[in-house]
Amino acid sequence: MRTQVGIIGAGPAGLMLARLLKLQGVDSIIIENRSEEYIYNRIRAGLIEHWAADLLVDVGVGERMQREGLRHWGINIGINGELHRLDFKALVNKRVTIYGQQEVVKDLVARRRADGGPLLFEVDGVTVHDVKTDRPKISFTHEGRAEVIECDFIAGCDGFHGIARPSVPDGVLSVFEREYPFGWLGILSESPPPDHELIYSYTDRGFALYTMRSPTLARLYLQCDPDEDIENWPDARVWDELHKRLGGARKLEEGAMLQKGITPMRSFVVEPMQYGRLFLAGDSAHIVPPTGAKGMNLAFADVMFMSRAIEKFYTKNSGDLLESYSATCLRRIWKAQRFSWWMTQIMHRFPAESAFDRRRQFSDLDYLTSSETAARSLAEQYVGLPLD
């Protein structure tokens, strides 16, 4: 097989990159080790920044999102049951859109199929070769046959557990990470959310987040121990704790739990995000705590920068944007990491916190909910910083 860009991973990053390249007249092949059914059922956060929602529309995959997505012009900050709404329209005149990541993936796959570009699922034994040359290769097995993709560039969009990042030799990448002393117990409930916008709730009992997938499906989270056994959280206990952490500020209707699981919290970045002609994007290069809702949005930003660099290489015979790809992405990534860390530390109870820490945390929350300047800073980062 021969193509211009070989893409490893059919998540939001890889699929969006393929679409951007198609619009630029650049050929690509996507390979994915999971099945098509698996990626459609891989539930992830679905908060899309203002610019990213516009991007989906601009590249021709936003029609269903515009019809089914929920536009939010603010969020609620709860402090022991007292809610404070931050009005994004008044503060920055931008919004976010709630639309499940798996739905974005479905739309991008449909677009890829319409474009006629190769998209191979359930590949095995993926390895990359010759990435320091101008003819890198991807080897794999598909439907029992050994295959090789010869290309000009390789995009590693295969997530935190993929093969792209480990393919970089030892000593090249620097790792920056932080593991948090708590996780999120998340449920998907067949019930209406307690508010039409998200509620971030700080309480003495711990953090809770009240969000949604649709007007009839609630996505709800509780701060818990990172190594908690899900069996210790029967449905009745989950609902009881969700009620307590909402504190009566809104009515919380109960419904059938369709999903339940515990997710650990971490921050992770590798530098640089490129090695020869292998470029990393999305979760293969960085992970953020979900408090700031930046994961998919950062992945889209990465591939926007990558596609611009590749286009300039082919149209202008210039590699300057390719050379600066990592530095360009990391400027945005570290701002998102800082914001996600800040949102996480301001809203959660930490097991080793002192009385001083708690007083400082209350002061942070008081300042956020009483100062227009502080609220505008949060709103600007939450809806998405400018791409350029």
Active site residue 325: no
Whether residue 105 contacts residue 39, with contact meaning beta carbons closer than 8 Å, is answered with yes
Torsion sign over Cα 314, 315, 317, 321: negative
Whether residue 87 contacts residue 74, with contact meaning beta carbons closer than 8 Å, is answered with yes
Q: Which amino acid is at 320?
A: D
| Structure tokens that stand for 178 in this block | 């932080």
Active site residue 137: no
- Taken as a whole, the chain contains a residue count of 388
Select which of 72, 99, 275, 348 is catalytic: 72
Active site residue 72: yes
- The single residue listed with the structure tokens 């990541």 is 101
CA–CA separation, 208 and 77 (whole Å): 11
Nearest to 96 by CA among 218, 197, 217, 180: 197
Select which of 22, 286, 294, 348 is catalytic: 294
CA–CA separation, 210 and 217 (whole Å): 11
Residue-wise over 320-336: b if at least 16 C-beta within 10 A, else e? ebbeebbebbbebbeeb
Select which of 99, 180, 200, 221 is catalytic: 200
Active site residue 243: no
Active site residue 38: no
Select which of 12, 290, 325, 348 is catalytic: 290
Report, as residue numbers or ranges, the catalytic residues: 72, 200, 290, 294, 382
